Amino acid sequence: MESTARRTFRGSRQALLARAIDEPDIPWRVLGTLNLFRLLIASALLAVFFVSGETPAFGNRIPPLFTATASAYLVFATVFAIALRQRAVPFNVLALTPILVDTAAVAIMMYTSSGISSGLGGLLVVFVGAGSLALPARLPMVVAAISTFAILGQELFADFSGFESNYPGAGLLCAVIFAMTLAVRPLARRIEMSEALARQRGVDLQNLSELNEYIVQHLRESIVVLDAEDQVRLSNASAAELLGAGEALPGHPIRNASPALADYILSWRADRSLPSHPEITVATEGNSARITAHLAPLAKEDNRNGAVLVFLEDASLMNARVQQSKLASLGRLSASIAHEIRNPVGAMSHAAQLLAENDVISEDDRRLTEIIQTHSSRVSHIIDNVLQLSRRETSRPERFELKPWLEDFGREFSRTLELQEGELALADVADGIDVRMDPSHLRQVLWNLCDNAVKYASETGGILVELHAGEQTGQGRPYLEVRDHGNGVDAATADKIFEPFYTERSGGTGLGLYISRELCELNRATLLYLDRPGGGSIFRIVFADPDRWKT
């Protein structure tokens, strides 16, 4: 499936290419240059006319008509300059109208001057030839034909009016105009193609830059690019977050974000004995985190005075991954060992049981057999926990109502542990609370929590275990709490009770709470420990939203 980023870049590219084709800049620049030339010509003609005195170089035939035409031509050029700046009129109209006005104005000024002999006709070569660069495909030849008719018409009208005419010169000028138009048109097409290609390359470069920026910003790795002065030229959001620098990292010295990293880079540039691609670990500001930095010079031949690419990693996350890998290896090893010692432990337990049934042994020996049976049972329980931890069976979640399920569990648990009435109580469990979890996993977790509550509560002289259930305010996620009135857990120990093999109780394995949390996470639930006001402990299971997770 095409990604959102790719569709965005493609849409941007198509839009810019369409703009490049529909609104090329060269025709607009041609129109602007021609209009500037038009302003200069009109102003120059008027200036020459008034400076010449009684024998003007232009307008000698009909001076009033010449000055009126030149003045109107200057006004038109000024108004057209405003229209070009506003671009409120369609381009084809702006391209064709001034050339027609040029043709009419030059023809009239030729007639009021000396015709072809005045040399004003050469202006049409410039206007028609340059205007052909901006006109659409077939219009240049039409404009050339109109200019031809205008030049020949003014010569014919001058002949009828009794002025001197020059038809051969007019014909030659018309031929030059047509030749110029034919020569300019292929050039115009090549210029348009070159401009479109240049714009396409510009769009491609812009898209490539945006794509590079997108990739850099969404990399999982944190990267920073430094120049020769250790100024940050490029960084992504994860690097800024890791360094605690916010979005103000680019354009600032790396020392502002990490003085320790800046000091090492400075010494690395100066000391050639250090590796060319070193790896160091530094602390962030305030020692809030430890960062591992990998330096990679971007210049060739190990030029350390140039730009440097720095890869950043959170050292605590790396250590956590290593620890997780160690635990996984330890789990597999423990499972193998547990499987191998299960049979010998069972044989010892069975032999101790048979020995205890012998009537000839003394009371001291019988006591020794009880010790063997007790510790064999403990070792067997540890083996069961280790094997269960290594198997990590998949979850088969089901949706069910919590209150009836808790009532059945409470009866079974109380009967198995021979609890008195009221020692395990359901309190504040509302009707209609549905949860989604594997029932066997929930039974194992809740049995472990209640068993711990009974054992620790008995140490205070009385057993009272309460089960509470409800829904979290705002989120609506159901939860289940196991509350006891034991001694509770101090703050230093609360962070460790879910770690594997950690226990403060004699005879415990330290795996019960760890397995319970693993089973909860396997069902998208969370197991938390909370302090109970007045003494005791609260273990809360926060279930996943049953309406969200359907599978």
What are the tens digits of pLDDT across the range 68-84? 998 998 999 898 888 88
CB distance 435 to 397 below 8 Å: no
Q: Pick from 135, 128, 35: which is nearest to 83 by CA?
A: 35
Listed in sequence order, the DSSP H helices in 357-470 are 363-391, 402-417, 439-458
The domains located in the chain, with CATH, are 4-208 (no CATH), 222-315 (3.30.450.20), 319-391 (1.10.287), 398-542 (3.30.565.10)
Query: What's the chain's average pLDDT?
Result: 77
Which range is least confidently modeled, 159-168, 286-295, 440-449? 286-295
At residue 444, the 3 state secondary structure works out as helix
- pLDDT at residue number 453: 82
Please report, rounded to a whole number, the percentage of residues in the chain having pLDDT higher than 90.
2
Instruction: Report whether pLDDT(433) > 80.
Output: yes
Please report, rounded to a whole number, the percentage of residues in the chain having pLDDT higher than 70.
78
Q: Using CA atoms, how far apart are residues 465 and 425, in angstroms rounded to an integer?
A: 6
Instruction: Report whether pLDDT(442) > 60.
Output: yes
- pLDDT at residue number 528: 85
Residue 72 burial by CB count (10 A; 0-12/13-18/19+): exposed, middle or buried?
A: middle
Mean pLDDT along residues 304-322: 73
DSSP string, 452-464: HHHHHHHTTT---
Distances (CA, A) of 312 to 227, 291, 318, 320: 17, 7, 11, 16
Q: Using CA atoms, how far apart are residues 533 and 307, in angstroms rounded to an integer?
A: 58
Q: Using CA atoms, how far apart are residues 458 and 487, in angstroms rounded to an integer?
A: 10
Mean pLDDT along residues 195-218: 76
Residue 515 burial by CB count (10 A; 0-12/13-18/19+): exposed, middle or buried?
A: buried
Instruction: Please give the backbone phi and psi of residue 6, each rounded to the nearest 5 degrees, phi first.
Output: -65, -40
Reported as a single tens digit per residue, the pLDDT across 124-136 is 888 888 877 777 7
Reported as a single tens digit per residue, the pLDDT across 128-178 is 888 777 777 678 888 888 888 888 888 888 888 888 888 888 888 888 888
Instruction: Report whether pLDDT(1) > 50.
Output: no
Most confident by average pLDDT, 330-339, 415-424, 506-515: 415-424
Instruction: Report whether pLDDT(338) > 70.
Output: no
- pLDDT at residue number 3: 44
pLDDT band at 381 (very low <50, low <70, confident <90, very high): low
- pLDDT at residue number 15: 46
Reported as a single tens digit per residue, the pLDDT across 30-62 is 888 888 988 998 899 888 888 887 777 788 888
Most confident by average pLDDT, 313-322, 341-350, 383-392, 449-458: 449-458
pLDDT band at 20 (very low <50, low <70, confident <90, very high): very low
Three-point CA angle 22, 24, 27, nearest 5°: 120
Reported as a single tens digit per residue, the pLDDT across 462-480 is 678 888 888 877 667 889 9
Mean pLDDT along residues 401-417: 88
Cβ of 545: how many Cβ atoms within 10 Å?
15
pLDDT band at 321 (very low <50, low <70, confident <90, very high): low
Write b or e for each residue in 314-338: b if 16 or more Cβ atoms lie within 10 A of its Cβ, otherwise e: bbeeeeeeeeeeebeeebeebbeeb
